[in-house]
Amino acid sequence: MIRESQRDYMIVLSIAFASFLARLNLYTVNVSLPTISRAFNIGTSEASQIVTAYLVVITGTLILFGKLGDKLGFKDLFIIGYIVFILGSLLCGLSQGIYSLIASRFLQGLGSSILLATSFAMIAQTIPREKLGWAFGINATATAIGVAAGAPLGGIIAGYFSWRLVFLINIPLGVIAIFFALRYLPSSNTPQSKAMTNPGGFDILGAILSFSALSVLLYVINEGSKRGWTSPTVLMFAVASVLLFICFVLWEKQCANPLLDTGMLKSGGFVFALLATTMAYMLIAGNSFLLPFFLELVKGINSAQTGMVLLTYSLIYVFVSPYAGKLSDRTNPVRMCAIAMLSGAVNTFVFAYTMRLSGIVPVIVFLGWLGFSYVFFLSPINSLVMGLAPKGKEGAASGLLNTAINLSMVFGVAVFELIFSQSLSGSAQGGINLNDLRGSQVLLYRGFSYSYVAGGLMCLAAMAFSIMVKQRPRNNKIITL
């Protein structure tokens, strides 16, 4: 019989492996896109659909699977998620054409969505509240390792072996993960599961409306920078997305068993913590998108060297994250989040000015400082969001949190690209051909600098929302900044 501390450790590792695998898969595939494009003789537009298909399914179904976890039980659904992910990976690896690969990515995205929607909730349900910061710190470390290992691993596999192995490698990893989940995760305890036997007990219409609204919104974001934000097609779909969201909210308010418990949104602390998370992830996503272009076009280093530079953030995060998680359990997490985001804002503003200095030292300092700032933000904010979720609603809260994170990452990329393009040409329509700007250092610096000023403002917004959070711990006293 293992001790309770060992039990908690194995539970967290079993859950965190899902976060590791999801991020590893995302970054290995992204690096392999040029190789896949050559294999199928396709352009960048079709290649982007390999990523978009995966993202649309994840974002559109996270709330659904979070709710299903509350009803069916998280352990059973978690294992189903691995099975679906493995099957999707197998079909991706065996795909003989671009459209079969995109369809298989939809299935793989479903598996990833299930894993992400249930992982946060299982930590919140199975780990004692006084250890939640530590648990989310381990989960964040696993995510950072997946990010750090994904790019170089994907490049090696696609470059020296085959792009198909980028997908097929998930199969043995997934099988190992299922073994540990069956061995260490506690059995599901779901008194609400009886609702699933009642055909009217699950919100089918709410699931359709939420998926449709989020999918249309992602289409608008993706097409806005290509066609122009005033394009009739983009405007039409934007209106459709708003109408679908309104229909979803109105339906949820009168539904007997809603997909989204709107009562959670009445908690100011929960909403502010969610908004703080959203703003913080916008900078992370925008930076991940834009910084490689800066390193290649301005600093003149190749893709392999760029990958090594980008490791700075993940390495700092990996080594510091466990300590940050433990610290958030012993100190005021609200204050910790606010200070971390203030640090991130100062760092980003400084980088917007110092990026003009020669060499890559300013970039390394920026990434290291950014990793240090975020490691002291993400663990406590995740703990706050899940700790503020109503009892028995952890799955829905986890789905809502991960939906917000994925949407914010899409918005982050769109905002950085929009500001960068407009600052260079005065028009975002159609984007910018960066190859035409390799010698235009003044224009490039202006575009990158303006984008990172916007990133600093995102951190300040995250800090402001963090300050507004009120936490109710076990002693029932309110904790604020």
Average pLDDT of the residues in 46-68? 75
Written as one string, the DSSP assignment of 416-470 is HHHHHHHHHHS--TT---GGGGTT-HHHHHHHHHHHHHHHHHHHHHHHHHHHT--
My answer on whether 290 and 377 are in the same domain is yes
Domain termination residue (choose one: 168, 194, 220)? 194
My answer on whether 306 and 349 are in the same domain is yes
pTM of the model: 0.72
Q: Is the pLDDT of residue 91 over 50?
A: yes
My answer on whether 102 and 207 are in the same domain is no
My answer on whether 181 and 141 are in the same domain is yes
Residue 430 confidence class, pLDDT cut points 50, 70, 90? very low
Q: Is the pLDDT of residue 254 over 50?
A: yes
User: Quick one: pLDDT at residue 226?
Assistant: 66
Which of the residue ranges 42-46, 169-173, 184-188, 453-457 would you say has the lowest mean pLDDT? 42-46
203: left (phi over 0), alpha (psi -120 to 50) or beta: beta
CATH number at residue 376: 1.20.1250.20
Q: Let me know: does 361 contact 395? Beta carbons within 8 Å.
A: no
Q: Which residues of 276-303 are buried (b: 16+ CB within 10 A; e: fewer)?
A: bbbbbbbbbbbbbbbbbbbbbbbbebee
My answer on whether 231 and 92 are in the same domain is no
Average pLDDT of the residues in 245-264? 76
Domain termination residue (choose one: 194, 211, 227)? 194
Residue 45 confidence class, pLDDT cut points 50, 70, 90? low
User: Quick one: pLDDT at residue 142?
Assistant: 80
My answer on whether 405 and 388 are in the same domain is yes
Q: Which residue has the tokens 């209106």?
A: 239
My answer on whether 189 and 90 are in the same domain is yes
Domain termination residue (choose one: 152, 174, 194)? 194
Per-residue model confidence as pLDDT tens digits over 364-407: 999 999 988 998 898 788 778 777 776 666 666 766 777 788 77
Q: Let me know: does 136 contact 325? Beta carbons within 8 Å.
A: yes
Number of domains composing the chain = 3
User: Quick one: pLDDT at residue 123?
Assistant: 80
Average pLDDT of the residues in 323-340? 81
My answer on whether 252 and 335 are in the same domain is no
My answer on whether 220 and 102 are in the same domain is no
Mean pLDDT taken over the chain: 78
User: Quick one: pLDDT at residue 350?
Assistant: 96
Among 197-206, 251-260, 316-325, 336-345, the range with the most confident prediction by mean pLDDT is: 336-345
User: Quick one: pLDDT at residue 414?
Assistant: 75
My answer on whether 164 and 207 are in the same domain is no
Average pLDDT of the residues in 210-236? 78
My answer on whether 188 and 222 are in the same domain is no
User: If you ran DSSP here, which 8-state letter would residue 358 be given?
Assistant: S
My answer on whether 229 and 100 are in the same domain is no
Q: Is the pLDDT of residue 203 over 90?
A: no
Rounded Cα distance between 339 and 30, Å, is 33
Rounded Cα distance between 62 and 402, Å, is 7
The range of the structural domain enclosing residue 215 comes to 203-256
